[in-house]
């Protein structure tokens, strides 16, 4: 039962925050937090299995890309998130400090993989987005832990 509740909770977060992420408004100028990255990383802290994590990635891709064409950016993002699953054995996502460090690292590393020149030419934009991801990541991490622990007795 705990696995089903966790699966539904993470799926609901991916759908709701993913829809917020794709709508055409920004939080800080032209910068939006990467909620999908945050939620997929959060799901690793709940100890989901590979099949569940793959479903989360596919659900995220459906939300992020409505068109039948698969972009280079989404391929890199999904490959990086799959790699993150295999890193979870070496990197404890259950601690907020480790979770936060991974959010910082993954935001910068994804920009490096997608467009290294953007990383060099717009460091302030990357810095602000990293801070936004970190802020919302920590907030979602704490609230989801409280919700699942206190109300659903998952932990």
Neighbour-count burial for 19-56, b at 16+ CB within 10 Å, e otherwise: eebeeeeeeeeebbbbbbbbbbbbbbbbebeeebbebb
Mean of the pLDDT values across residues 141-148?
86
Angle 21-22-26 from CA coordinates, rounded to 5°? 60
pLDDT digits (tens, 9 = 90+) for 101-144: 989 999 988 988 888 898 889 888 889 999 999 999 999 999 98
pLDDT digits (tens, 9 = 90+) for 96-106: 888 899 899 99
Report pLDDT for 153: 59
Burial label, 103 (beta-carbon count in 10 A; 0-12, 13-18, 19+): buried
Report pLDDT for 64: 87
In terms of pLDDT, which residue wins out, 144 or 70? 144
Angle 128-131-134 from CA coordinates, rounded to 5°? 150
CB 11 within 8 A of CB 56: yes
Three-state secondary-structure class, residue 47: coil
The yes-or-no verdict on residue 45 having pLDDT over 90 is no
Report pLDDT for 10: 93
Residue 154 CB coordination number (10 Å): 17
Kindly indicate the confidence band of residue 74, based on its pLDDT and cuts at 50, 70 and 90.
Answer: confident
Report pLDDT for 13: 94
Most confident option among 22-26, 54-58, 69-73 = 54-58
Report pLDDT for 151: 60
Report pLDDT for 40: 94
Q: How far apart are CA 2 and CA 153, in angstroms?
A: 8
Instruction: Specify the pTM.
Output: 0.88
Most confident option among 30-34, 51-55, 119-123, 145-149 = 51-55
């Amino acid at each position: 039962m705990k696995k089903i509740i966790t699966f539904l909770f993470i799926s609901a977060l991916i759908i709701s925050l993913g829809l917020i992420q794709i709508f055409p408004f920004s939080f800080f100028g032209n910068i939006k937090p990467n909620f999908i990255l945050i939620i997929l990383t959060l799901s690793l802290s709940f100890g989901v299995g590979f099949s569940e994590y793959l479903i989360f990635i596919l659900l995220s891709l459906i939300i992020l890309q409505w068109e039948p064409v698969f972009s280079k950016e989404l391929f890199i993002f999904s490959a990086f998130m799959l790699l993150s699953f295999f890193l979870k054995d070496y990197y404890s996502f259950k601690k907020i400090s480790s979770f936060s460090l991974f959010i910082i690292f993954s935001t910068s590393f994804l920009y490096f993989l997608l467009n290294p020149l953007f990383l060099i030419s717009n460091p302030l934009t990357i810095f602000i987005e990293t801070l936004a991801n970190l802020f919302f990541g920590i907030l979602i991490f704490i609230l989801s832990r409280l919700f699942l622990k206190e109300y659903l007795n998952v932990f």
